[in-house]
């Protein structure tokens, strides 16, 4: 069984070893998985062909929950297939009060033994503290999300700044143990720059590249730290399901297409720095 550990150390180690800021999202979509391929085999193969190209893997728990009782076993199987030197960020977007938050933290960090998690800050600090208190684990707080409707709430004015900027300010104040980062969509590079200005040293997770059509170069340049690091650029569908869109690979060569897509995106990120 894999043992979760210090996310920051694993992130830096994998990023350096693989020369990568690419985070591959593990989102199993049954209708897109190649015919005749078991979901466990599919995810294990994705990991096998990309493990030297990534700085992190990000399984999204919703895509495992859709499989019902088997989903938990599939998630465990996927986690155990990931090399221990590569960090795992569980995309769960948890956010609840009191004992519920404690239970979520135990399930994610003690049972699944992953290294990091995404959190929803809407309920405030006491819903997040059970995660923040795990000093060797990392929490990424939703700040400026990549979806179009993000403006409905995140652009509201609060204390003379927009709500997402207020969240960034709070995330900086919550970063007592150096284990709080933020989620900032690649679809909003101007906002990413503002978040980076508020939080110069914290890690930023950048979803929205690929299928959501975020501007990769602009997003990377807006979010990167002054030392040239501090980002995780996430891509899921564009890598896992690259086969139908990549004519350079043989028919049925979905694993080859996945590796090629990951390699190309890794290199594009590096070129944007």
pLDDT in tens, 74-111: 999 999 999 999 999 999 999 999 899 999 999 999 99
What pLDDT does residue 57 have?
A: 99
Helices marked H in 94-242: 98-105, 129-132, 151-154, 163-174, 189-198, 216-223, 237-240
Say which residue, 153 or 209, is predicted with more confidence: 153
Token pair listed for 1 = 């069984």
Q: What tokens does 105 get?
A: 């933290």
- CATH 3.20.20.70 is held by the domain 7-272: yes
Among 238, 237, 246, residue whose Cα is nearest residue 28: 237
pLDDT, averaged across the chain: 93
Closest CA to 75 of 28, 32, 115, 120: 28
Q: What is the pLDDT of residue 134?
A: 96
pLDDT at 208: 84
pLDDT in tens, 184-243: 999 999 999 999 999 999 999 999 886 555 589 999 999 999 999 999 999 999 999 997
Tokens, residue 54? 């990534």
For residue 18, what are the CA distances in angstroms to 56, 169, 215, 262? Answer: 10, 32, 23, 12
- Picking from 1, 14, 24, the residue whose alpha carbon sits closest to that of residue 114 is 1
Radius of gyration of the chain (CA): 18
d(CA 126, CA 123): 8
- CA–CA distance, 264 with 129 (Å, rounded to integer): 38
pLDDT attached to residue 3:
66
CB atoms within 10 A of CB 131: 26
* Chain centre to alpha carbon of residue 166: 22
Around Cβ 79, how many Cβ atoms within 10 Å?
A: 21
What are the residue numbers of the active site? 93
Q: What is the pLDDT of residue 39?
A: 97
Q: What is the DSSP letter of 16?
A: H
**Cβ neighbours of residue 93 under 8 Å, at least 6 residues apart?**
118, 119, 120, 142
DSSP-derived secondary structure letter, 228: S
Prediction pTM value? 0.94
Q: Is residue 60 a contact partner of residue 27, using CB atoms and an 8 Å limit?
A: yes
Q: What is the pLDDT of residue 272?
A: 94
Say yes or no to pLDDT of 9 above 70: yes
């Amino acid at each position: 069984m894999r043992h979760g550990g210090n996310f920051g150390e694993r992130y830096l180690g994998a990023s350096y070893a693989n020369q990568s800021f690419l985070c591959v999202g593990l989102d199993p979509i049954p209708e897109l998985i190649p015919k005749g391929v078991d979901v466990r085999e599919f995810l294990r193969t994705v990991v096998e062909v990309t493990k030297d190209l990534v700085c992190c893997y990000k399984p999204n728990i919703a895509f495992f929950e859709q499989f019902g009782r088997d989903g938990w076993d599939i998630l465990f199987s996927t986690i155990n297939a990931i090399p221990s030197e590569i960090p795992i960020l569980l995309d769960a977007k948890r956010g609840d009060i009191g004992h519920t938050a404690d239970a979520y933290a135990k399930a994610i960090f003690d049972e699944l033994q992953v290294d990091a998690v995404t959190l929803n800050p809407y309920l405030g600090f006491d819903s997040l503290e059970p995660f923040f208190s795990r000093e060797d684990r990392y929490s990424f707080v939703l700040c400026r999300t990549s979806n179009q409707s993000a403006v409905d709430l995140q652009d509201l004015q609060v204390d003379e700044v927009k709500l997402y900027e207020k969240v960034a300010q709070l995330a900086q104040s919550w970063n007592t143990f150096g284990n709080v980062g933020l989620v900032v969509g690649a679809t909003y590079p101007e906002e990413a720059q503002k978040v980076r200005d508020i939080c110069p040293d914290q890690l930023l997770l950048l979803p929205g590249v690929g299928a959501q059509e975020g501007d990769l170069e602009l997003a990377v340049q807006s979010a990167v730290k002054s030392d040239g690091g501090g980002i995780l650029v996430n891509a899921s569908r564009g890598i896992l399901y690259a086969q139908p869109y990549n004519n350079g690979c043989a028919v049925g060569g979905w694993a080859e297409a996945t590796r090629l897509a990951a390699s190309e995106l890794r290199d594009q990120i590096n070129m944007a720095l």
